[in-house]
Protein backbone atom coordinates (compact mmCIF):
# COMPACT_ATOMS: atom_id res chain seq x y z
CA UNK A 1 0.00 0.00 0.00
CA UNK A 2 1.27 3.47 -0.88
CA UNK A 3 0.26 6.78 0.75
CA UNK A 4 1.41 9.90 -1.10
CA UNK A 5 2.01 12.74 1.38
CA UNK A 6 2.29 15.66 -1.04
CA UNK A 7 -0.10 16.40 -3.92
CA UNK A 8 -1.67 19.58 -5.27
CA UNK A 9 -5.12 20.24 -6.67
CA UNK A 10 -5.94 23.24 -8.82
CA UNK A 11 -4.38 25.64 -11.31
CA UNK A 12 -1.20 27.47 -10.30
CA UNK A 13 -0.16 31.03 -11.09
CA UNK A 14 2.92 29.45 -12.69
CA UNK A 15 0.79 27.47 -15.16
CA UNK A 16 0.96 24.02 -13.51
CA UNK A 17 -2.39 22.34 -13.00
CA UNK A 18 -3.97 19.16 -11.75
CA UNK A 19 -7.65 18.27 -11.83
CA UNK A 20 -9.37 15.73 -9.60
CA UNK A 21 -9.67 13.24 -12.44
CA UNK A 22 -5.94 13.66 -13.33
CA UNK A 23 -5.17 12.90 -9.71
CA UNK A 24 -7.39 9.82 -9.42
CA UNK A 25 -6.16 8.45 -12.75
CA UNK A 26 -2.49 8.74 -11.88
CA UNK A 27 -3.08 7.22 -8.42
CA UNK A 28 -4.83 4.24 -10.04
CA UNK A 29 -2.09 3.84 -12.64
CA UNK A 30 0.70 3.63 -10.05
CA UNK A 31 -1.20 1.83 -7.29
CA UNK A 32 -1.37 4.68 -4.76
CA UNK A 33 -4.10 3.90 -2.22
CA UNK A 34 -4.32 7.32 -0.54
CA UNK A 35 -3.04 10.84 -1.17
CA UNK A 36 -2.78 13.90 1.03
CA UNK A 37 -4.09 16.80 -1.08
CA UNK A 38 -3.80 20.54 -0.64
CA UNK A 39 -4.35 23.61 -2.83
CA UNK A 40 -1.81 24.74 -5.40
CA UNK A 41 -0.86 28.47 -5.42
CA UNK A 42 -3.95 29.78 -7.19
CA UNK A 43 -4.24 33.38 -8.39
CA UNK A 44 -7.31 34.04 -6.17
CA UNK A 45 -7.47 31.41 -3.42
CA UNK A 46 -9.57 33.48 -1.00
CA UNK A 47 -8.38 34.65 2.45
CA UNK A 48 -5.81 32.11 3.74
CA UNK A 49 -6.80 29.79 0.88
CA UNK A 50 -10.40 29.53 2.18
CA UNK A 51 -11.95 29.13 -1.27
CA UNK A 52 -9.52 26.39 -2.26
CA UNK A 53 -9.66 24.66 1.12
CA UNK A 54 -13.47 24.40 0.66
CA UNK A 55 -12.88 22.79 -2.70
CA UNK A 56 -10.59 20.22 -1.07
CA UNK A 57 -13.32 19.60 1.55
CA UNK A 58 -15.91 18.83 -1.16
CA UNK A 59 -13.48 16.48 -2.87
CA UNK A 60 -12.53 14.46 0.24
CA UNK A 61 -16.21 14.02 1.07
CA UNK A 62 -16.68 12.14 -2.22
CA UNK A 63 -13.32 10.43 -2.54
CA UNK A 64 -12.32 8.28 0.39
CA UNK A 65 -8.84 7.81 -1.11
CA UNK A 66 -8.01 11.50 -0.55
CA UNK A 67 -6.88 12.99 2.75
CA UNK A 68 -7.56 16.68 3.29
CA UNK A 69 -4.82 19.17 4.08
CA UNK A 70 -5.60 22.89 4.41
CA UNK A 71 -3.20 25.40 2.97
CA UNK A 72 -2.66 28.46 5.22
CA UNK A 73 -1.27 31.91 4.56
CA UNK A 74 0.10 33.37 7.82
CA UNK A 75 0.05 36.86 6.26
CA UNK A 76 -3.72 36.57 6.72
CA UNK A 77 -3.58 35.60 10.35
CA UNK A 78 -7.22 35.82 11.39
CA UNK A 79 -8.33 33.86 8.32
CA UNK A 80 -5.60 31.28 8.98
CA UNK A 81 -6.94 30.64 12.49
CA UNK A 82 -10.41 30.20 10.98
CA UNK A 83 -9.01 27.76 8.43
CA UNK A 84 -7.41 25.71 11.22
CA UNK A 85 -10.82 25.41 12.94
CA UNK A 86 -12.53 24.55 9.65
CA UNK A 87 -9.86 21.98 8.86
CA UNK A 88 -10.67 20.02 11.98
CA UNK A 89 -14.43 20.23 11.44
CA UNK A 90 -14.03 19.10 7.82
CA UNK A 91 -11.98 16.06 8.79
CA UNK A 92 -8.64 17.32 7.46
CA UNK A 93 -5.54 15.77 8.98
CA UNK A 94 -2.86 18.32 8.15
CA UNK A 95 -1.98 21.86 7.12
CA UNK A 96 0.44 23.02 4.44
CA UNK A 97 2.73 26.05 4.71
CA UNK A 98 4.73 27.41 1.78
CA UNK A 99 6.97 30.27 2.98
CA UNK A 100 8.42 31.03 -0.46
CA UNK A 101 5.33 31.16 -2.60
CA UNK A 102 3.15 32.81 0.08
CA UNK A 103 6.00 35.09 1.29
CA UNK A 104 6.30 34.72 5.05
CA UNK A 105 8.94 33.66 7.54
CA UNK A 106 8.97 31.46 10.65
CA UNK A 107 8.51 34.47 12.93
CA UNK A 108 5.28 35.50 11.19
CA UNK A 109 3.90 31.95 11.17
CA UNK A 110 4.80 31.15 14.76
CA UNK A 111 1.50 32.21 16.44
CA UNK A 112 -0.43 29.64 14.37
CA UNK A 113 1.42 26.64 15.80
CA UNK A 114 -0.26 26.79 19.19
CA UNK A 115 -3.64 26.18 17.49
CA UNK A 116 -2.23 23.60 15.06
CA UNK A 117 -0.74 21.71 17.99
CA UNK A 118 -3.98 21.82 20.02
CA UNK A 119 -5.95 20.46 17.06
CA UNK A 120 -3.42 17.64 16.55
CA UNK A 121 -2.92 18.48 12.88
CA UNK A 122 0.27 17.45 11.09
CA UNK A 123 2.28 20.11 9.23
CA UNK A 124 3.67 19.87 5.71
CA UNK A 125 6.27 22.63 5.45
CA UNK A 126 7.92 23.57 2.16
CA UNK A 127 11.67 23.66 2.79
CA UNK A 128 14.58 24.55 0.54
CA UNK A 129 17.60 26.81 0.11
CA UNK A 130 15.30 29.72 -0.82
CA UNK A 131 14.91 32.61 1.69
CA UNK A 132 12.66 31.78 4.69
CA UNK A 133 12.65 28.07 3.78
CA UNK A 134 15.86 26.86 5.45
CA UNK A 135 15.12 23.97 7.83
CA UNK A 136 17.30 25.66 10.49
CA UNK A 137 15.11 28.80 10.45
CA UNK A 138 12.15 26.64 11.59
CA UNK A 139 14.05 24.46 14.06
CA UNK A 140 12.88 26.39 17.14
CA UNK A 141 9.25 25.76 16.14
CA UNK A 142 9.76 22.01 15.63
CA UNK A 143 11.35 21.95 19.06
CA UNK A 144 8.64 24.00 20.75
CA UNK A 145 5.86 21.60 19.62
CA UNK A 146 7.23 18.09 20.16
CA UNK A 147 3.85 16.33 19.79
CA UNK A 148 3.14 17.94 16.40
CA UNK A 149 4.50 16.05 13.41
CA UNK A 150 6.36 18.15 10.84
CA UNK A 151 7.06 16.83 7.34
CA UNK A 152 9.81 18.82 5.61
CA UNK A 153 8.79 18.86 1.95
CA UNK A 154 11.76 18.41 -0.43
CA UNK A 155 14.07 17.82 2.59
CA UNK A 156 15.53 21.32 2.33
CA UNK A 157 16.64 20.84 -1.34
CA UNK A 158 20.30 22.06 -1.47
CA UNK A 159 20.19 22.24 2.34
CA UNK A 160 19.36 18.53 2.64
CA UNK A 161 22.25 18.08 5.11
CA UNK A 162 20.59 20.60 7.42
CA UNK A 163 17.30 18.66 7.11
CA UNK A 164 19.12 15.39 7.86
CA UNK A 165 20.61 16.77 11.09
CA UNK A 166 17.25 18.06 12.29
CA UNK A 167 15.39 14.82 11.44
CA UNK A 168 18.07 12.88 13.34
CA UNK A 169 17.78 15.19 16.34
CA UNK A 170 14.00 15.61 16.65
CA UNK A 171 11.54 12.71 16.88
CA UNK A 172 8.65 14.75 15.43
CA UNK A 173 10.43 15.77 12.21
CA UNK A 174 10.09 13.62 9.07
CA UNK A 175 11.47 14.15 5.57
CA UNK A 176 9.65 14.16 2.21
CA UNK A 177 12.05 13.54 -0.68
CA UNK A 178 9.78 14.78 -3.51
CA UNK A 179 11.72 16.28 -6.45
CA UNK A 180 14.99 15.40 -4.70
CA UNK A 181 17.66 13.58 -6.69
CA UNK A 182 18.34 9.84 -6.46
CA UNK A 183 21.67 10.58 -4.77
CA UNK A 184 20.25 12.90 -2.09
CA UNK A 185 17.33 10.55 -1.42
CA UNK A 186 19.83 7.73 -0.90
CA UNK A 187 21.91 9.84 1.50
CA UNK A 188 18.80 10.60 3.52
CA UNK A 189 17.79 6.94 3.74
CA UNK A 190 21.30 5.98 4.84
CA UNK A 191 21.76 8.76 7.41
CA UNK A 192 18.27 9.32 8.80
CA UNK A 193 16.74 5.92 8.06
CA UNK A 194 13.52 4.71 6.44
CA UNK A 195 11.64 5.21 9.73
CA UNK A 196 11.86 9.04 9.27
CA UNK A 197 11.02 9.34 5.55
CA UNK A 198 7.53 9.60 4.03
CA UNK A 199 6.75 8.92 0.40
CA UNK A 200 5.68 12.12 -1.36
CA UNK A 201 5.39 12.92 -5.07
CA UNK A 202 4.59 16.68 -5.26
CA UNK A 203 2.47 15.98 -8.36
CA UNK A 204 1.95 17.82 -10.71
CA UNK A 205 5.53 19.14 -10.13
CA UNK A 206 7.05 15.67 -10.34
CA UNK A 207 5.96 12.36 -11.82
CA UNK A 208 4.35 9.84 -9.51
CA UNK A 209 6.01 6.88 -11.24
CA UNK A 210 9.43 8.54 -11.07
CA UNK A 211 9.14 9.26 -7.34
CA UNK A 212 8.09 5.63 -6.63
CA UNK A 213 11.00 4.31 -8.73
CA UNK A 214 13.58 6.11 -6.55
CA UNK A 215 12.55 3.98 -3.57
CA UNK A 216 12.28 0.80 -5.64
CA UNK A 217 15.93 1.25 -6.62
CA UNK A 218 17.08 2.39 -3.18
CA UNK A 219 15.26 -0.04 -0.87
CA UNK A 220 14.61 -3.79 -1.05
CA UNK A 221 10.86 -4.49 -1.13
CA UNK A 222 10.96 -5.83 2.46
CA UNK A 223 12.11 -2.40 3.73
CA UNK A 224 9.73 -0.07 1.87
CA UNK A 225 6.66 -0.30 4.11
CA UNK A 226 7.56 2.51 6.58
CA UNK A 227 8.31 4.95 3.74
CA UNK A 228 5.37 3.98 1.56
CA UNK A 229 2.72 3.94 4.28
CA UNK A 230 3.66 3.11 7.88
CA UNK A 231 5.20 6.46 8.80
CA UNK A 232 2.38 8.38 7.10
CA UNK A 233 -0.30 6.43 8.99
CA UNK A 234 1.44 7.26 12.23
CA UNK A 235 1.75 10.98 11.40
CA UNK A 236 -1.84 11.22 10.15
CA UNK A 237 -3.12 9.24 13.18
CA UNK A 238 -4.98 6.73 11.02
ZN1 LIG B 1 4.39 20.92 -3.53
In the reported structure, the alpha carbon of residue 8 is separated from the centroid of ligand 1 by a whole-number distance in angstroms of: 6
Residue 144: Cβ within 10 Å count: 12
pLDDT attached to residue 41: 87
Q: What is the mean pLDDT of the chain?
A: 97
Averaged pLDDT for residues 1-28? 95
Burial 180-212 (b: 16+ CB within 10 A, else e): beeebbbbbbeebebebbbbbbbbbbbebeebb
Averaged pLDDT for residues 168-186? 98
Name beta bridge partners: 151: 124, 174
In the reported structure, the alpha carbon of residue 116 is separated from the centroid of ligand 1 by a whole-number distance in angstroms of: 20
Residue 163 has pLDDT above 90, yes or no: yes
Averaged pLDDT for residues 159-183? 98
Burial of 57 (0-12, 13-18, 19+ CB in 10 A): middle
Averaged pLDDT for residues 66-84? 97
DSSP 193: -
Please measure the distance between the N-terminal and C-terminal CA atoms of the chain and give it in whole angstroms: 14
In the reported structure, the alpha carbon of residue 125 is separated from the centroid of ligand 1 by a whole-number distance in angstroms of: 9
Name beta bridge partners: 2: 32
Residue 130: Cβ within 10 Å count: 14
The domain locations on the chain are: 2-235
In the reported structure, the alpha carbon of residue 6 is separated from the centroid of ligand 1 by a whole-number distance in angstroms of: 6
Residue 42 has pLDDT above 90, yes or no: no
pLDDT attached to residue 76: 97
Residue 123 has pLDDT above 90, yes or no: yes
In the reported structure, the alpha carbon of residue 118 is separated from the centroid of ligand 1 by a whole-number distance in angstroms of: 25
pLDDT attached to residue 195: 98
Averaged pLDDT for residues 147-163? 98
Averaged pLDDT for residues 194-223? 98
Averaged pLDDT for residues 62-87? 97
**How far apart (Å, rounded) are the C-alpha atoms in residues 64 and 107?**
36
In the reported structure, the alpha carbon of residue 185 is separated from the centroid of ligand 1 by a whole-number distance in angstroms of: 17
Surrounding residues of ion ligand 1, Cβ less than 5 A? 202
In the reported structure, the alpha carbon of residue 4 is separated from the centroid of ligand 1 by a whole-number distance in angstroms of: 12
What would be the CATH architecture of the domain defined by 2-235?
Alpha-Beta Barrel (3.20)
In the reported structure, the alpha carbon of residue 205 is separated from the centroid of ligand 1 by a whole-number distance in angstroms of: 7
- Percent of the chain's residues with pLDDT above 90: 95
In the reported structure, the alpha carbon of residue 170 is separated from the centroid of ligand 1 by a whole-number distance in angstroms of: 23
Averaged pLDDT for residues 184-195? 98
pLDDT attached to residue 85: 97
Amino acid sequence: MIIDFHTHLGHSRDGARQTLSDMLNVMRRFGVAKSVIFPIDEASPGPAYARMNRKIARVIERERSLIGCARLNPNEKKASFEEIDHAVRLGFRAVKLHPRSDRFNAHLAKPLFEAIDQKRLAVVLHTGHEPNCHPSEWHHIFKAYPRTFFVLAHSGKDLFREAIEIAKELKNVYLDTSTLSYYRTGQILREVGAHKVVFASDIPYSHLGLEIKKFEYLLPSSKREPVFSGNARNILRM
